[in-house]
Structure 1
């Protein structure tokens, strides 16, 4: 494998540049080097030589043979023939983006000789030596790295198949800095709207600003998100949930401002609501409900802000932890 050119999540395909070393023995082309001036190697024309019609069974486009006409053959005096075809291929691969941007994809290329059955042509494979300086590919990709490559042989419909399995891991450092980190920061920053004093007059504008920032950022990063239709990434669910929570913060802030400016002497707060949020903790560590008489709207607003802050902070923390742990592991 020379290079990974593209991984298309929407088309469920991978594009790569490959080349192979194909060896076989041509018993009809054997000679004694001493009879031909110690000639041990020739480059016969491609059209005059037999070669296996190798093809990729899971190709994205039409089924075409591997190799091109300008690739030369090498034939040795003992009949050993070497053919080194290479080309750009596009093959199907089921891509699961659930753990994006920490996802790992397992794809494979499957080759077979479509001009002969397994009784006529037997295929064998040899694993290439691992190059520690280059890894599994000669040229690295800016988005993906090949962490593993192995081969296996199987028989399907009378043909022997050589399956080359490639494990791709997404390079997530750049995506974390430009995508994940801003989303997490906005999620935690949004919760602090409940710490702003109501007297400042900035609570509603702060919550609306964060909501608009999330909406604008979501439209900005739409091109960076995978466009797969079969699976949904955890990051997309996380962003959508934070957008819903941000809208909920705006509604709670509006209700809280209304309670703050409410004349509780003329329009009483419902008793069930007071029992739900208005509690007083005495020195004996016992919990007592505050009496309805003498409770101002500002007191209820401050208590509601405190409860919402800790409640939503725990929710955002748990959601972020689940998203990060689920993606990494």
Structure 2
């Protein structure tokens, strides 16, 4: 190990050796255990992806009448495509194992697709029947249910009561979906990090008197071999 130099992508965690007999000849098998340095992937891939996932949730805070909701969502959707392109260029062509990080990106991409579909339907409904009465009354808040109409015309109640339109329904549906997607993204990210921590087994360098320890810190397949 006097000739060993530190590597920027890997850490040597353990080295083991054993003598074996094969075909009446003695051989020495030397096994090196490597641990991936996760800082590069953490700050260049995972952290931006987490920020992009929560940025996708803020879509439901953009008013549909602003006209910027669709373009904002398509920009986020294309950003996921850029992430998939970057990851596919670094991963080997292996169908036997699937990277946990790729599964995370695909899951968040599916949520983004659902957001695109919802935004398109919302824009269509808002432009066609947004001013019409909405028969779905389940999202009316208690404030709207118990609202007292002002008395006008000499103490007589108004002839026309406030109408609950499709536009009002879509605004309240945005608020509900904001919290639903927030919980979903938080759970997905929590499961992802739980899987990572389950595979973490940091081992110090040991000699051949100790059994070899398998270390897997960041479960993303790599093109390196050996």
The question of a shared fold, defined as TM-score above 0.5 by the shorter chain, is answered with yes
The aligned counterpart of 1:233 is 99
Higher helix share: 2
- What is the 5 A alignment of 1:241-256? 241-256=107-122
Q: Which residue of 141, 151, 157 corresponds with 1:280?
A: 141
Q: Does 1 or 2 have the higher relative contact order (CA < 8 Å, sep 6+)?
A: 2
The CA RMSD over aligned residues, in Å, is 2.6
For the 8 Å contact 2:131–2:167, the answer to whether it is kept is no
- Output the CA distance in 1 between the equivalents of 2:5 and 2:91: 25
2:57 maps to 1:191: yes
Q: Find the partner of 1:310 among 163, 170, 179.
A: 179
Distance 1:313 1:205, change over 3 A: same
Post-superposition offset of 1:264? 6.4
Contact map agreement 2:100 2:192 (CA 8 A) in 1: yes
Cα distance, 1:263 vs structure 2: 3.0
List per-residue Cα deviations over 1:136-193 (Å, max 9, x = no partner): x612222111111112344556555533221111111112222222222111111110
Q: Counterpart in 2 of 1:174?
A: 40
2:62 is aligned with 1:216: no
Long gaps (5+) in structure 2: 144-161, 199-226
Deviation of 1:258 (Å): 2.7
**TM-score normalised to the size of structure 2?**
0.69
Structure number with greater Rg is 1
Whole-Å separation in 2 of the counterparts to 1:247 and 1:193: 13
Unaligned runs of 5+ in 1: 2-133, 283-292
**In structure 2, what is the equivalent of residue 66 of structure 1?**
none
Cα separation, 2, equivalents of 1:299 and 1:204: 19
Change (3 A) 1:316 1:264: closer
CA 265–212 in structure 1, closer or farther in 2 if over 3 Å, else same: closer
Q: Which residue is equivalent to 1:138? A: 4
Q: Assess if the C-alpha contact under 8 Å between 1:260 and 1:300 holds in 2.
A: no
- Any idea what SS the aligned residue of 2:89 has? coil
CA contact (8 A) 1:193 1:207 kept: yes
**2: CA distance between counterparts of 1:179 and 1:228?**
21
Given that 1:259 and 1:300 are in contact with CA atoms closer than 8 Å, whether structure 2 keeps it comes out as no
* SS of alignment partner, residue 223 of structure 1: helix
SS at match of 2:88: coil
